[in-house]
Amino acid sequence: VRTQVAIVGAGPAGLVLACVLLRAGISVEIVERQTREAVERRARAGLVEHRVVEYLRAHRLADGLVAHGVRHGWCDFLGLGERLRVDYAARAGGAAHWVYPQQFLVRDLIDALETAGGRPHFARPVTAVHAPAAGRPRLRCPGLVVEADYLVGCDGQHGVTRAALPAAVRDDLSHRYPYDWLTVLAEVDRPVEGVVYAVHERGFAGMMPRTAQLARCYVQIPAEDGAERWPDERVRRELDARLRTAHGGLPHIGRLTDIGVLRMRSTISQRLCHGGVFLAGDAAHLLAPAGAKGMNAAVADAADLADSLVRHYHDGDDAPLAGYSARRLEQVWRVQAFSDWLLGLLNTSTTGAGDVRFDLRLKLEHIRRLAETGPFSTDFAHQYAGAGEL
C-alpha cells in the first residue's frame, strides 16, 4: 500500500494525528498491534489538560469528553495531619482539567476516524520499520507493507519505530528515580471528588478520580519492588495509613484491580525525526509520571505534527515540519521540569540521612505556598492545568 502518511500505533497520539490529517484530505494508513477491543479497554490516564481539551474541541474531537467528562479544577494535599486545597483553576484564569478515562477518548477517536473514512488496521503488529536518511520510509506487518511520504511512530516507548532510528540520532537522555509507584484501580463507594496527593513518612500515596465507581491510586514503593510483594491487603493497608487524615472524608476503597508497578524513569530523545520518520508521544519521550502529563504531551505532539503536515501538503511550506523536533523538545523539557519538581515534592526521600519529618515539614511549606495566592501558586496552576493553547 502507498500512502502519504503512515502511522504506527493507535493510542491518543496516533489517533489524533490520523483524524486531523484525514479530515484535511491527506491519505493515512494507521497500523495497531492490538485488537480494537483491547485498545478501547486499556485504562491508563484520565486527566485531560485545558489546552488539549480546547484543541480537541476546535477539531470536533471532544464531543464525548464534554458530554460525559467532569471538569476538575482543584486538588488536595495531605501532610502532617493537614489537608490543604489548591484551587488551581481559580489561579489559572479558569483553566482546568477534564476527567475522562483515556480508553473512552481512544474509543471516541476511533469512531471519529471511521466516520471520516479511515480504516485502522487492528491486530497487526509492525515488525519492521525502514527509516532511510533520505527517501520513502516503509513499514512491514503480517499481510501488509506500507510505503509512505512520511512515517510517524506513535507506538510508545517500546515501539519498533524509535528502535529503527539510529541511536546516535535519537541521542536519548534517561533518568531513573530512586523509587517506584505501585498503581491500582480501586472500586470506590462514591466518586472521588478531586485529586488527592498525600505526602507521608511511609511514602507518597495518591488517589485520582476516574469514573463514578473507580479511582486510580498510587503508592510509593522501593525501587525494583515487584507487584507480587504487594498483595491486596498490603496495598489497602498502605493506602489507608497514608491517605487517612484528621479530616477524613475520602471514599471507602473496595475491590482492587489492575495492580501494576510504574517504574519511575524518564527518557527523552534529543531528536524526534530522521529523514521522513517522526516520533510522537511516548515513542519520543517518557515523562516523569507526576502531574498527569504523558497523554497530554502525546496529543500536543500529534497536534503540532498534524498542523505541520497540513502546511506541507496544502501550502508547500516545509518550515513547520523542519522545526517540529526543536519546537516540541522545548515544550517537552518544560513539562518534564515541572513533573520532576512535583515528583520531588510528593515522594518521601529514601536516601537522605536524618529525620524524615524534616523532609515532610519542608514539603508542607511548599504546599502551603501552593494553597496561597501569589506568583508561586499562579505559576504552578498554569503549568498543572495546561493553561493557554497548544
Binding site for ligand FAD (CB under 6 A): 8-14, 31-34, 39, 44-47, 102, 125-126, 154-156, 159-160, 183, 281-282, 292-296, 298
Quote the Cα angle for 242-247-249, to 5°.
Answer: 80
Provide the phi-psi class of 357: left if phi over 0, else alpha when psi is between -120 and 50, else beta.
alpha
Q: Whole-angstrom Cα distance, residue 182 to residue 203? A: 11
Beta-strand relationship, 285-286 and 265-268: antiparallel
For the bound state, the minimum distance from the C-beta of residue 167 to ligand FAD, rounded and expressed in Å, comes to 18
For the bound state, the minimum distance from the C-beta of residue 271 to ligand FAD, rounded and expressed in Å, comes to 17
For the bound state, the minimum distance from the C-beta of residue 235 to ligand FAD, rounded and expressed in Å, comes to 14
For the bound state, the minimum distance from the C-beta of residue 284 to ligand FAD, rounded and expressed in Å, comes to 8
3-state class (DSSP) for residue 284: coil
Q: Whole-angstrom Cα distance, residue 211 to residue 190? A: 9
Please give the span between the terminal C-alpha atoms of the chain, in angstroms, as a whole number.
Answer: 33
Length of the chain: 390
For the bound state, the minimum distance from the C-beta of residue 292 to ligand FAD, rounded and expressed in Å, comes to 3
**Largest Cα span, the chain:** 64
The residue (of 89 and 335) whose beta carbon lies closer to ligand FAD is: 335
The residue (of 297 and 321) whose beta carbon lies closer to ligand FAD is: 297
3-state class (DSSP) for residue 2: strand
The residue (of 41 and 357) whose beta carbon lies closer to ligand FAD is: 41
Beta carbons within 10 angstroms of residue 203's beta carbon: 23
The residue (of 58 and 262) whose beta carbon lies closer to ligand FAD is: 262
The residue (of 52 and 381) whose beta carbon lies closer to ligand FAD is: 52
The residue (of 174 and 373) whose beta carbon lies closer to ligand FAD is: 174
Q: What beta strand segments (E) does 87-213 contain? A: 97-99, 128-130, 138-141, 144-153, 173-176, 179-188, 195-199, 205-209
The residue (of 296 and 377) whose beta carbon lies closer to ligand FAD is: 296
For the bound state, the minimum distance from the C-beta of residue 73 to ligand FAD, rounded and expressed in Å, comes to 16
3-state class (DSSP) for residue 6: strand
Q: Whole-angstrom Cα distance, residue 271 to residue 354? A: 41
For the bound state, the minimum distance from the C-beta of residue 303 to ligand FAD, rounded and expressed in Å, comes to 12
